[in-house]
Homo-oligomer: A and B are copies of this chain.
């Protein structure tokens, strides 16, 4: 283990192996034009010296950093966490590494994160957009860095996009509640300017209108406005509703907290459906009926798509992948759990 500066360089390897640095480089990259014996020998020397290639140097020269980035509003959200895990798995298969950043749902912060990634010469970006954001991606796209937009499409840019059937899922859930005879159904959403939210609201409205029922909506600008006080009017008094739909995980949490605060019981006083499934949804009695998104699959496909782009380097048509949500009936909608 000869160590000069704390680390062995490719030149050290070359010298020790009695070859030129380029040959060493070829050995490192398993270049086909190398005689097998030569390559093996060099690689053995690498082993012996404990050589570790410097990815920074590699990236600087070759302009590929073997790094992708993923930016999401909130990393602690289980939807995001599951997607991140899936993306990471795919990245590893490609011998890539993933830099993670959260935008906090703030467009300005998001933009600055994207910029930071650009400086790191990332080879690709997966974005769960904080807004249906206009020009967050300008910089990336100008530099020809592939981008896959996830969950939340971005307007005005031709970008690969992967989403779910938001509208249909919400419509289905609403129709189900209507089918149970409910008319006063509350939809609870946050950040209505988001595509996901607005699509889900649209699905909800469509179902309500078709049934001749009047939509009742509580759409807050920011998740933290989703307090028990905000919900109170709908849980008792003249505005009281019969059923509630939580339009995403955070909203579902808010509603459940609210119900808990006022000691309201699911299934009895209120029917409930959540957009977003999660661990334990079945454990909350009488079991939460949910519109499930194929989270891991979303992450996996987003990453796969991204790596295809990275590999081909072609600028084909932007692909739009739409995965289906799944309606999972448990008890909270009013169905008797089997």
Q: List A residues at the B interface (Cβ < 8 Å).
A: 6-7, 52-57, 59-60, 65, 67, 74-78, 80-82, 84-85, 88-89, 92, 97-102, 115-121, 143-144, 253, 256-257, 260, 279-280, 282-285
Asked whether A6 and B54 contact (CB < 8 A) given A78-B78, A99-B97, A257-B283, the answer is no
Asked whether A99 and B102 contact (CB < 8 A) given A60-B57, A119-B54, A253-B280, the answer is no
- How far apart are A137's CB and chain B's nearest CB, in angstroms? 15
Q: Decide: B85 and A121 in contact? CB cutoff 8 A.
A: no
User: Which of chain B's residues have a CB closer than 8 A to the CB of A82?
Assistant: 76
Q: Decide: A53 and B119 in contact? CB cutoff 8 A.
A: yes
Q: Decide: A120 and B75 in contact? CB cutoff 8 A.
A: no
Q: Decide: B279 and A253 in contact? CB cutoff 8 A.
A: yes
- How far apart are A61's CB and chain B's nearest CB, in angstroms? 9
Complex CA–CA separation, A57 to B54 (angstroms): 12
User: Which of chain B's residues have a CB closer than 8 A to the CB of A256?
Assistant: 280, 283
22 interchain pairs, CB-CB under 8 A: A52-B119, A54-B60, A55-B119, A55-B121, A56-B59, A60-B60, A67-B120, A75-B81, A76-B84, A76-B85, A78-B78, A81-B81, A84-B100, A88-B100, A88-B101, A88-B102, A97-B99, A97-B116, A97-B120, A256-B280, A280-B280, A285-B285
Give 19 new A-B contacts, CB below 8 A, not counting A56-B59, A253-B280: A54-B121, A55-B119, A55-B120, A55-B121, A56-B65, A56-B120, A75-B84, A75-B85, A75-B88, A84-B100, A85-B102, A88-B101, A97-B99, A99-B99, A253-B279, A256-B280, A280-B280, A280-B284, A285-B285
**9 nearest A-B residue pairs (beta carbon):** A81-B81, A75-B85, A76-B85, A100-B100, A56-B60, A55-B119, A76-B81, A56-B59, A55-B120
- How far apart are A207's CB and chain B's nearest CB, in angstroms? 27
- Look across to chain B and name the residue whose beta carbon is closest to the beta carbon of A102: B88
Tell me which of A7, A59, A84, A280 has the highest count of chain B C-beta atoms within 10 A of its own C-beta: A280
- How far apart are A307's CB and chain B's nearest CB, in angstroms? 17
Complex CA–CA separation, A271 to B328 (angstroms): 29
User: Which of chain B's residues have a CB closer than 8 A to the CB of A81?
Assistant: 75-78, 80-81
Complex CA–CA separation, A131 to B244 (angstroms): 45
Complex CA–CA separation, A121 to B9 (angstroms): 13
- How far apart are A93's CB and chain B's nearest CB, in angstroms? 12
Across the interface, A6 reaches (CB within 8 A) one of B92, B143, B260, B284, namely: B143
Complex CA–CA separation, A102 to B87 (angstroms): 11
Asked whether A118 and B52 contact (CB < 8 A) given A253-B280, A279-B253, the answer is yes
Tell me which of A57, A97, A256 has the highest count of chain B C-beta atoms within 10 A of its own C-beta: A97
User: Which of chain B's residues have a CB closer than 8 A to the CB of A85?
Assistant: 74-76, 102
Across the interface, A56 reaches (CB within 8 A) one of B80, B92, B101, B121, namely: B121
